[in-house]
Amino acid sequence: MEITCLFFVLATISSTGMGYRSDEFICKRITNDMKDLDTNFAGDNYHVAEKDGNSMTETKSDILKTYARDCLELYDKGEKRDGIYKVSPDDGCPIRVYCDMTNGGWTVMQRRKDGSVSFKRTWAEYVEGFGDLEGDYWLGLNQIHRLTKDGSQIYIHLQQYDGKWLYAHYKDFTVNNAVTAYKMNVDKYGFEGTTPEFLGYHDNMKFSTYDRDNDNYAGSCSFYHGDCGWWFNTCYRFNPNGMYNNKNVNGLSYYSDDYIYMKNSVIKLKRNKHC
């Protein structure tokens, strides 16, 4: 199978708002319909076409050898600066992520800090990711799957309207592949934190958006809660993608006897060391 890696100068994916620098590439599988490559292409050669028309053939390992697996690997190799990095979790095409190095090499999967990005998005947008890596953003279900499929932790940091921060930490968190509708698994018994335990309610749920309803509710949880995407059950105990600065059931909140509304959120991932 042939893989083409096209290099773009200052290319920007307008639908996500996540820009790409000139040394990054998008991998495509050459098929009849030119479908986007998933991640399973071990052993193939890449035909690299640069802007000046010159080309060369390299193996996958030649092209990807400079990319760490994730933020934790970068941290372990001595990188201690917070910021945007490129990683390749599974020897697939590299992805841009924001790394929290201050706290030990966490990969940020979601952030809400000022409401500048709407989380009222389609299924396709939640799969691909959207927003500003240094601001409000959602990393993308495909990328989250690639980062967590071999086992990870998840750390949820929530800021109340009075400025106080709360946290929820789960030691086992996995997002499965597209065939499962990105079903999420979390071990509620591995929870610690200053919030109530709320993510276990969403264990084993498929992801849902307003245009693709996979929840257990008779209606659509996404539709009734601001058209955001999440692993809704019937409907939620935790909704970090709800409407920003909205103190009602559509807002960024968790549920514990009543809705508890949050101002900001940061959700981070870290690979379990045994993987």
Q: Which pLDDT value is given to residue 63?
A: 55
In Å, the largest CA–CA distance within the chain is 63
In angstroms, the CA 274 to CA 69 distance is 14
**Beta-ladder partners of 267:** 110, 156
In angstroms, the CA 98 to CA 112 distance is 14
- Cα angle 185, 207, 271; round to 5: 40
User: Pairing state of beta strands 45-49 and 2-7?
Assistant: parallel
Annotated domain spans of the chain: 2-64, 71-271
Q: What pLDDT digit, counting tens, does each position of 48-98 carry? A: 333 344 444 445 555 556 899 999 999 999 999 999 999 999 988 999 999
Q: What are phi and psi of 202, to 5 degrees?
A: -100, 0
Tokens of 56: 């060369």
Tokens of 274: 């045994």
**Beta-ladder partners of 270:** 153
SS3 state at 184: strand
Q: What is the CATH number of domain 71-271?
A: 3.90.215.10
* Residue-by-residue pLDDT tens, the chain, 275 positions: 333 444 333 333 333 445 433 334 444 333 333 344 443 333 333 333 333 444 444 455 555 568 999 999 999 999 999 999 999 999 889 999 999 999 999 999 999 999 999 999 999 999 999 999 999 999 999 999 999 999 999 999 999 999 999 999 999 999 999 999 999 999 999 999 999 999 999 999 999 999 999 999 999 999 988 899 999 999 999 999 999 998 888 899 999 889 999 999 999 999 998 74
Spatial CA neighbour of 24 closest among 83, 109, 84, 106 = 84
- Rounded to a whole number of angstroms, the CA Rg of the chain reads 19
CB 96 within 8 A of CB 86: yes
Instruction: Report the length, in residues, of the chain.
Output: 275
Element holding 62 (H helix, E strand): helix 60-64
